Amino acid sequence: MARKIKYYLVAAEALPEIFIRVAEAKRMMQTGEADTVGAATKMAGISRSAFYKYKDAVQPFNDMKSEHIITFYTLLKDVSGTLSSVLGVFAASGANILTINQSIPTNGCAAVTISAETSAMEKSLEQLITDISALDNVIKFEILAG
């Protein structure tokens, strides 16, 4: 029986320092700041064994958007132009909308799921969520899958 992996979104301040350093070592290798695992771990101040132990389990939230299709769930008030405003924020961020599914509004609200390719986004995923959540008539906006 395969073990099901659970994921948690945790604020960086709550994480043990080793996880932050592993993420930093991975970033250094991806950007070319460090050529080898040895160089990256030395610069991050961790052992190679700690790096290998956690490297597959630690990934910054911002990196989740890279080459991913993410499905968002939003609950909108049934007010003309609300969905258009949400889509405008997606367009300004550089996300490529793939699908939009909207329910028929009931009780003055409509549930909408939006799937988007986010690898070309110019802003962070956190900023996209913040910007859309702050729009008038957006009751709820969150990541559903991705």
Average pLDDT for consecutive 10-residue bins of the chain (146 residues)?
71 89 90 91 95 86 62 94 95 92 94 90 87 94 83
Pairwise CA distance, residues 44 & 74, whole Å: 39
CA angle 126, 99, 146 (to 5 degrees): 40
pLDDT given at position 25: 93
pTM of the entire structure? 0.55
pLDDT given at position 66: 47
Closest CA relative to residue 115, chosen from 74, 76, 69: 69
pLDDT given at position 63: 52
Residue in the block written with tokens 């609200």: 109
Angle at which helices 82-93 and 125-133 cross, to 10° = 160
pLDDT given at position 49: 95
